[in-house]
A and B are shown apart, each in its own frame.
Chain A
């Protein structure tokens, strides 16, 4: 085994499945962007945060919006500032470089040491957005015509890209990525995850909470199924409210932390009437 590259093993705040851990390491070693998909709330964005934390690297986020252009991530040429300076004589206008501001991708290339770059929610942007980044992500370099400069990555950044599959990504782009779909955690892994966030959580409460939570996830017809982040919010609410484990079992206190849509509340009510109690649940755990 070559120990040359940085090796990610998870952090004290983020429990990673062995499969995902290996995939992260493969992508780091090959120098290819890691594309992460998965249900909302399965920790796609947090993964990038924790790769940076775990490896002790600087962390850059490029939040993609519907108006984001690929060029914004490379650099912005602030013409208006330059025009203004030329008029009022407030700065050295001859030096174009002063008006070239690097975007997050540009900054990740020029950083003195290897950084972790998160391109968050790439599917929010225009259809052509991923295509415009092909070469930049492949070669890890780009050209600024204004200054006749080529910015080349001194250290290839570790690139993590998240997508919620709102738009399909072009094949050419996908071909250059390493892909992982974060599955919803199993009960055992979920216990570990909860433990990381609430180390002192009562065993009994945890058991009831998880039983209730996985029961919820099995109900068909939710527009948005409750996910890990909602579970953590819910547990925090239960602890803050000082709710007894018995009450969690019987009713569903603070359901608002788990269910966010009006239609889903109706679905939940119907499901609770159907099960009327929890005879079925007890058998499962």
Chain B
């Protein structure tokens, strides 16, 4: 009954499980809907949807199934997602990148919206409309070098990858790394040491002592166990990182909310670490890296977050920093090595999926710091790595 509704919800990425569906069936069997669509609407929503953030999708699905309204065409969203993903651009050759500059992304997007709106029928061939073949930048099997393929299979091999986004399915599920999952992973980052006043009852030793005293109660107190883990989070805020800014800010807020660290510091850098790190990326409030290395002891656990994707000169040259007005006396690589030498526990989290770690600078950075992808598994492995000495 209403199975369509169930699958429509699922296709809109609403997390509905069979358990909830069976509950709904039970409620229906008990006659709670009172044969009224409105009652059914609220009842089904209460049982199936567990967060107000999904109410909108629920409304769409409900309207679609029960009033036969049209679902918004999600192909458009897929295209926009695809456009927003810098990975797709990385996969292009230099030559294509040069050509794509003729149409920058926003233009491309606007143009696509416009043409989708203007076009009213299926279109194959030709140079302008969205369809198949041809040299329009949109559609599939075409040969416009900077074009976007929409569904279908590849033609001349010149068109950019698949707008239908199937290739990046795995990658998309990785984005579900939410604050809770990050917190659960970071929770493992702990190291208990007893310190402070002796004000906690040590049950084991109290029992032992009492038994030795033949039942005469002897209370033994001990110091409270406290987590001594100190964390330093260094985040790349460079331009190539902006698609991941939400992911990184989730990591930051989770780490910041973790009250069980003894100390937590979060600082930013731009593409690569040089002589300064920034407390706030907007007003350039800097903290010299050298003084950080002096003031923080080597037992800080350092988590660097960045795509490590930069021009080789940014990593290897004096004065190679991407910011024109910023001069670095030592190459970025030198600073990274200094950090790795000073802090015994370091990891690098990379939001790019592992198969994209082929760029030379990513490989080099990966040789200095153990590198993990910014996913649930990657974060867990990174935390494990942080607990053992390199």
C-beta contact mask, A121-140 vs B, less than 8 Å → 1, else 0?
00000010000000000000
- Bound-state Cα–Cα, A83 to B215, Å: 10
**Nearest CB in chain B to that of A21: its residue:** B42
Chain A positions within 8 Å of B180 at CB level: 127, 167-168, 170
Interface centre among A2, A22, A176 (most CB of B within 10 A): A22
Q: Contact between A27 and B19 (Cβ–Cβ < 8 Å)?
A: no
Within 8 Å of chain B (Cβ to Cβ): is A107? no
C-beta contact mask, B15-58 vs A, less than 8 Å → 1, else 0?
10101100100110011101000010011001101111001000
Chain B positions within 8 Å of A2 at CB level: 30-31
- Bound-state Cα–Cα, A26 to B23, Å: 10
**Nearest CB in chain A to that of B17: its residue:** A175
Q: Contact between B49 and A26 (Cβ–Cβ < 8 Å)?
A: no
- Bound-state Cα–Cα, A127 to B183, Å: 9
Within 8 Å of chain B (Cβ to Cβ): is A263? no
Question: Could you tell me the distance in whole angstroms from the C-beta of B200 to the nearest C-beta in chain A?
Answer: 13
- CB within 8 Å for A179 and B31 given contacts A19-B42, A168-B179, A168-B180: no
**Nearest CB in chain B to that of A1: its residue:** B31
Interface size class of A (residues with CB under 8 A): 20 to 34
Question: Could you tell me the distance in whole angstroms from the C-beta of B201 to the nearest C-beta in chain A?
Answer: 8
Within 8 Å of chain B (Cβ to Cβ): is A181? yes
Binds B, one of A28-36, A43-51, A238-246: A28-36
Q: Contact between A22 and B20 (Cβ–Cβ < 8 Å)?
A: no
Chain B positions within 8 Å of A117 at CB level: none
Q: Contact between A26 and B46 (Cβ–Cβ < 8 Å)?
A: yes
A-B interface contact total, Cβ < 8 Å: 63
- CB within 8 Å for A180 and B26 given contacts A22-B32, A170-B180: no
Question: Could you tell me the distance in whole angstroms from the C-beta of B48 to the nearest C-beta in chain A?
Answer: 9
- Bound-state Cα–Cα, A168 to B55, Å: 17
- CB within 8 Å for A23 and B43 given contacts A30-B27, A127-B187, A179-B51: yes
Chain B positions within 8 Å of A171 at CB level: 15, 50
**Nearest CB in chain B to that of A4: its residue:** B30
Residues 147-178 of A at the B interface (beta carbon under 8 Å): 167-171, 174-178
- CB within 8 Å for A175 and B217 given contacts A26-B47, A35-B50, A168-B180: no
**Nearest CB in chain A to that of B42: its residue:** A19
Chain B positions within 8 Å of A1 at CB level: 31, 34
- Bound-state Cα–Cα, A26 to B31, Å: 10
Within 8 Å of chain B (Cβ to Cβ): is A25? yes
Q: Contact between B46 and A180 (Cβ–Cβ < 8 Å)?
A: yes
**Nearest CB in chain B to that of A173: its residue:** B50
Q: Contact between B46 and A29 (Cβ–Cβ < 8 Å)?
A: no
Question: Could you tell me the distance in whole angstroms from the C-beta of A76 to the nearest C-beta in chain B?
Answer: 15
Q: Contact between B31 and A175 (Cβ–Cβ < 8 Å)?
A: no
Contact among A127, A168, A178, A181 with B47 in the assembled complex (CB-CB below 8 Å)? A178
- A–B Cβ pairs within 8 angstroms, 10 of them: A1-B34, A2-B30, A26-B43, A26-B46, A29-B27, A30-B27, A35-B50, A168-B178, A168-B179, A171-B15
List chain A positions with a Cβ less than 8 A from chain B: 1-2, 19, 22-23, 25-27, 29-30, 32, 35, 37, 83, 87, 127, 167-171, 174-181
User: 5 tightest A-B contacts by CB?
Assistant: A174-B50, A181-B52, A23-B46, A168-B180, A19-B42
